[in-house]
Amino acid sequence: MKIKNIAKVIGITGAVFLVSCSSDDDNTPVVQVEAPATYVFERDGESTVSFSGQTTRIAMAEAIIGQFKNTATTEAIVDAMFDHQENADDFEDATLNASDKSVRNKTAASRDYFSSNATDAAEIKADFDSWIKGQIDEVFPNWAVMATEGNAGFLQEAGGGSERYVNAKGLEYDQAFTKSLIGALMTDQALNNYLGTAVLDEADNIANNDNGVVADGQVYTTMEHKWDEAYGYLYGASADPANPNPTIGDADSFLNKYIGRVEGDPDFAGIAAEIYDAFKLGRAAIVAKNYTVRDAQAAIVKEKVSEIIGIRAVYYLQQGKNGLEAGTVDYASVFHDLSEGFGFIYSLQFTQNPATNQPYFSKTEVEVLLNQLMGATNGLWDVTPATLDTLSDTIAAKFSFTVAQAGSTN
């Protein structure tokens, strides 16, 4: 298309874009969006960025996983933390107690995947409930007992390293819970809820955003806020949420941590910037009312965050395989790696392939993978290097990385 002329450059806080006139036979303006240097967006001198709910849920989730090492806790206490009700005295932090937010009610709760799939949502929530119960009922009573095949207890890493607490099949429930929550809460809400057009374009969101109509009592439009909520699940606990990549990986135990881990692998260096830049440009596109650019950036985030899940699943399977092939097997380290791998495999069902708008692995496919990992009589005690390679190959084949790339030491 031949550009006749550039009419003007318009500066908006948080976005700069060019409005161009097209050829004589097409008078539709073309809006080119430019992202700001950092994730800062303002209207009338006030920040329009808000994701406090995501920051709260990340803090709640951190407190919950801390209970998996507290042998004085009870199932009722942890269940109440997971399913927090406003003003219930569930946390040490009074701010969290006062909140109406809950981790459980946003687990497997995205519009794209679960609005018409209550059965799967309930089954997934029940899995998290079962991991809490298993830690209390199976692992805590055997906290000081050496684990063996078919018996829960602890294993100590070689050289006097960390103690790992496993169930009868060698699975660490705390790792299963934590890594699965990365998918079922953070990834599912960010990719399949807030970055989906069903949420972004709901009701009058487009018209209101086009006309600068803000949400009741707020300075942001609803569409701006929904995008920010997706952003918050990655960066809501960062030291500087507007510029999080200088400390990427340090903010929490969830998506932020593993974006940092993958970024630290030379095979994937740059992925943190790709995700952050897409968030910035997509948000700038909302300000500029360019929904084509917005959706293209959402697709980048969906692809790259999904890759993080797949990469780490393969990484931990390969680390476990390497441990099994060592001269003397350090089962504490091997089971720790494979328990993390379990959680990342579980999280694959919450990824989204932007080419299909479906997960890279369905819930049924994930169940097959987990059965391959855990299905033998003694679970992880019986798993073989060949099985771990087969699982790794299956996962990597759905993505654009290789097992060798994902499995390298980091």
Ranking 10-19, 74-83, 202-211, 333-342 by mean pLDDT, the lowest is 10-19
| Angle between helix 363-374 and 331-347 (nearest 10) | 170
Question: Residue 210 above 60 pLDDT?
Answer: yes
Percentage of the chain beyond pLDDT 90 is 91
**Region for residue 258 given its phi and psi (left: phi exceeds 0; alpha: psi -120 to 50; beta: otherwise):** alpha
Question: Residue 10 above 50 pLDDT?
Answer: no
Question: Residue 356 above 90 pLDDT?
Answer: yes
**Pick from 240, 317, 231: nearest CA to 276:** 231
Q: Measured between alpha carbons, how far is 140 from 351 in angstroms, rounded to an integer? A: 33
pLDDT in the model for residue 111: 98
Q: Are 60 and 106 in contact, with CB atoms under 8 Å apart?
A: no
Q: Domain residues of the chain, as ranges?
A: 51-410
Q: Hey, which bits of 2-148 come out as E strands?
A: 5-12, 15-21, 30-34, 42-43, 46-47
Mean pLDDT computed over every residue of the chain? 93
Give pLDDT tens digits for 28-77.
Answer: 566 789 999 999 999 999 999 999 999 999 999 999 999 999 999 999 99
**370-376: long-range pairs with CB below 8 Å, 24+:** 370/342, 370/345, 370/346, 373/338, 373/341, 373/342, 373/345, 374/169, 374/171, 374/342
Q: Residues near 352 by Cβ (< 8 Å), separated by ≥ 6?
A: 112, 191, 192, 302, 306, 358, 359, 360
> Looking at the DSSP assignment, which residues form a beta bridge with residue 353?
358
The runs of H, that is alpha helices, within 115-246 are 118-134, 173-181, 188-189, 197-200, 205-210, 222-235
pLDDT in the model for residue 408: 87
pLDDT in the model for residue 16: 42
pLDDT in the model for residue 410: 67
Q: Mean pLDDT throughout 316-326?
A: 97
Q: Residues near 2 by Cβ (< 8 Å), separated by ≥ 6?
A: 22, 23
Q: Measured between alpha carbons, how far is 284 from 306 in angstroms, rounded to an integer? A: 23
Q: Measured between alpha carbons, how far is 283 from 154 in angstroms, rounded to an integer? A: 47
| Residue burial 165-196, b: 16+ Cβ < 10 Å; e: rest | bbbbbbbbbbbbbbbbbbbbbbbbbbbbbbbb
Please give the structure tokens belonging to residue 406.
């994902």
Percentage of the chain beyond pLDDT 70 is 92
Give pLDDT tens digits for 261-298.
Answer: 999 999 999 999 999 999 999 999 999 999 999 999 99
Q: Mean pLDDT throughout 165-190?
A: 98
Give pLDDT tens digits for 250-263.
Answer: 999 999 999 999 99
